[in-house]
């Protein structure tokens, strides 16, 4: 979330829009973040997923509150499979608990899903909505996944560009001309103006003291040794015989 603030802004936009559109009394709705779960053992072994999800929700809600929205919110984890314990609270348990506490308006937010798929369209929209109704929740809303939200895609593209190992050069790999920072469109336009192509991140073959050359030199050396051994064994003479190695 820190690297792609567009994700946070886009999520806040969708939450506020759906909240205001679905509920007659938007302020009473509970914002229900449902993230994909992972086995608890992963977190105990050092996986930062739980901490990152909690921080992500806090960042989104901080952005939501800038729009004057102060709804209660909950984070739970879905899609548990197998007999082992996963991150809790589980989404189904949290929905039941909210119903028992008298919650009537629930806005579901797929927090760790950026596109629509079976876990949003079936698990959330069908299974959890049915469970919510059975639990006494009367009004249900669901924030759509980001999909190709322009704000999210723009920042995602920028993050990808910054992460590329070869965006600091233009032209041949030996050219160290720096590309000025900017949008993806600016970067591509700069290459087009100079009639240059992005150099590949990995060069398949180079002569000299390179990783590629070392690999091929090693293979050639192994073949030479094998041929030498075969020749020595078949002829019964040669350097290795003279050295009394064979």
Mean per-residue pLDDT over the chain, rounded: 84
pLDDT tens digits for range 120-178: 999 999 999 999 999 999 999 999 999 999 999 988 888 887 777 654 444 444 444 44
Predicted confidence at residue 5, as pLDDT, reads 86
Mean local confidence (pLDDT), 65-92: 96
CATH number for the domain running over 5-142: 3.40.50.1400
Whether 191 and 49 have beta carbons less than 8 Å apart is answered as: no
Average pLDDT over residues 189-201: 62
Does the pLDDT at position 193 exceed 90? no
pLDDT at position 1 is: 43
pLDDT for 133 equals 98
pLDDT for residue 28 is more than 90: yes
Residue 111 has pLDDT above 90, yes or no: yes
What value does the mean pLDDT take over residues 210-238? 73
Give the span between the Cα atoms of 32 and 48, in whole angstroms.
21
pLDDT(33) > 50: yes
Cα dist from 65 to 12, 13, 15, 16, 164, whole Å: 9, 11, 11, 10, 34
Confidence of residue 234 (pLDDT cuts 50, 70, 90): confident
Q: Is 242 exposed, middle or buried (0-12, 13-18, 19+ CB in 10 A)?
A: exposed
What are the residue ranges spanned by the domains of the chain?
5-142, 166-202, 211-242
73 membership: H or E segment, kind and range: strand 73-78
pLDDT at 94 over 80: yes
pTM exceeds 0.85 for this model = no
> Reduced to 3 states, what is the DSSP secondary structure of residue 77?
strand
Distance CA 144, CA 182 (A): 30
pLDDT of 22: 97
d(CA 55, CA 144): 21
């Amino acid at each position: 979330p820190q690297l792609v603030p567009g994700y946070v802004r886009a999520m806040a936009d969708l939450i506020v829009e759906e909240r205001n559109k679905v509920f007659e009394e938007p302020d009473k709705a509970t914002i229900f973040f449902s993230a994909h779960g992972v086995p608890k053992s992963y977190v105990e072994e050092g996986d930062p997923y739980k901490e990152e999800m909690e921080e992500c929700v806090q960042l989104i809600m901080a952005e939501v509150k800038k729009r004057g929205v102060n709804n209660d919110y909950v984070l739970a984890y879905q899609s548990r499979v197998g007999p082992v314990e996963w991150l809790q609270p589980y989404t189904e348990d949290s929905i039941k608990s909210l119903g028992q506490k008298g919650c009537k308006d629930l806005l579901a937010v797929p927090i760790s899903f950026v596109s629509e798929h079976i876990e949003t369209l079936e698990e959330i929209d069908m299974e959890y909505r049915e469970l919510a109704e059975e639990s006494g929740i009367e009004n249900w809303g669901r924030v759509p996944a980001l999909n190709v939200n322009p704000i999210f895609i723009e920042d995602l593209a920028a993050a990808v560009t910054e992460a590329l190992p070869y965006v600091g050069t233009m032209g041949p790999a030996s050219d160290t001309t720096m590309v000025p920072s900017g949008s993806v469109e600016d970067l591509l336009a700069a290459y087009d103006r100079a009639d240059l192509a992005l150099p590949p991140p990995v060069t398949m073959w180079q002569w000299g003291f390179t990783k590629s050359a070392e690999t091929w030199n090693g293979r050639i050396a192994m073949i030479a040794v094998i041929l030498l051994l075969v020749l020595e064994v078949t002829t019964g003479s040669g350097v290795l015989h003279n050295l009394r190695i064979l």
